[in-house]
Amino acid sequence: MQRPRIPDRSRDALAPALRDVRAVVFDTDGVITDSARVHAAAWKEAFDAFLRAHPPEDPALRRPFDERDDYLRHVDGKSRLDGAEAFLAARGIETSAETVRAVAADKERLFTQRLREQGVDAYPYGPRVGVDAYPGTVRLVQALRAAGVPRAAASASRHAGELLSRAGVLDLFDALVDGGEAARLGLPGKPEPDLFLEAVRRLGVPADRAAVVEDALAGVEAGRRGGFALVVGVDRAAGADTGARLLLHGADIVVHDLGELCAGGAPK
């Protein structure tokens, strides 16, 4: 006698878009933790010092680095060197590898300094200081965990593990591929998909059955190039048209808060 089929209710806490997904890879800065602002501020200090010391010939290109628009357009999601090179090129500055390395190193120093200022006695792996996880992201990650869907964190930054630990959410992920791992494995940066493909490989799920969640233009593009089943863009309102640009670069859907992907949406 055939037994009645028992419906699988474990995914009821997830929005329909995620119900067929077997794994989810989350970008870190700006998706899991609110640390993108710390990166953007460090970039601004490094780039503005460079622009003052080496003003572009065209006065229109001398304006200071914009923490929202320039960050999203040229730097966000990329490796430090790729980001420095892209922004300086956009300002018409011909750069040597040495110049790019110097500006990138300056940003790294300023970023680390800011992290220390925000929680010096707990540095590097202390209690929750300075960096927070977005509550909507935590809700979604917990709902995925309850549904048995494996989760990875991925980031071009070598600081990802530290940031996740500071925010108290490192344990919610089954795998982490950060900038240090990417360098060790020789993985190219976003918009190449290698970082995400490595993350989903570690979860044991093919990309075409997995989702990527990203807030950077280079990141959603990497998700698309990697052949992921679903690319979720997170619009942290960097600009009025950020959502449209995320869609243009490869996001299948765009949300403002990942709580929107829990059944019933984000709490009001």
**Which residues participate in catalysis according to the annotation?**
27, 29
Binders of Mg ion among 20-39, rule CB under 5 A?
A: 27, 29-30
Closest approach, Cβ 172 to Mg ion, in A, equals 17
Nearer to Mg ion, 27 or 260 (CB): 27
Residues 6+ apart with CB under 8 A from 141: 26, 32, 151, 169, 172, 173
Q: Which one-letter amino acid corresponds to residue 73? A: R
Q: Can you tell me the distance from the alpha carbon of 210 to that of 231, in angstroms, rounded to the nearest whole number? A: 9
Query: Which listed range, 80-88, 103-111, 119-127, 207-215, lies at the site for Mg ion (CB under 5 A)?
Result: 207-215
Q: Can you tell me the distance from the alpha carbon of 123 to that of 129, in angstroms, rounded to the nearest whole number? A: 9
Q: What is the CA radius of gyration of the chain?
A: 19
Closest approach, Cβ 216 to Mg ion, in A, equals 5
Q: What is the 3-state secondary structure (H, E, C) of 116-156?
A: HHCCHHHCCCCCCCCCCECHHHHHHHHHHHHCCCCEEEECC
Q: Which one-letter amino acid corresponds to residue 102? A: A
> What angle (nearest 5°) sits at the alpha carbon of residue 125, between those of residues 152 and 185?
45
Q: How many of the chain's residues bind Mg ion (CB under 5 A)? A: 5
Closest approach, Cβ 97 to Mg ion, in A, equals 25
- Residue 194 interacts with Mg ion (CB under 5 A)? no
Nearer to Mg ion, 163 or 210 (CB): 163
Whether the Cβ atoms of residue 137 and residue 32 lie closer than 8 Å to each other: yes
Nearer to Mg ion, 51 or 231 (CB): 231
Closest approach, Cβ 244 to Mg ion, in A, equals 18
Peptide bond into 124 cis (omega under 30): yes
Binders of Mg ion among 140-159, rule CB under 5 A?
A: none
Closest approach, Cβ 30 to Mg ion, in A, equals 4
Token pair of 164 as six digits:
């996740």
Q: Can you tell me the distance from the alpha carbon of 265 to that of 61, in angstroms, rounded to the nearest whole number? A: 42
The residue of the chain with the least Cβ separation from Mg ion equals 30
Q: Can you tell me the distance from the alpha carbon of 245 to that of 180, in angstroms, rounded to the nearest whole number? A: 29
Nearer to Mg ion, 198 or 215 (CB): 215
Binders of Mg ion among 209-248, rule CB under 5 A?
A: 215-216
Nearer to Mg ion, 30 or 161 (CB): 30
Nearer to Mg ion, 30 or 130 (CB): 30
CA of 128: how far to CAs of 39, 185, 211, 238, in Å?
A: 18, 30, 28, 26
Query: Which residues are near Mg ion by CB under 5 A?
Result: 27, 29-30, 215-216
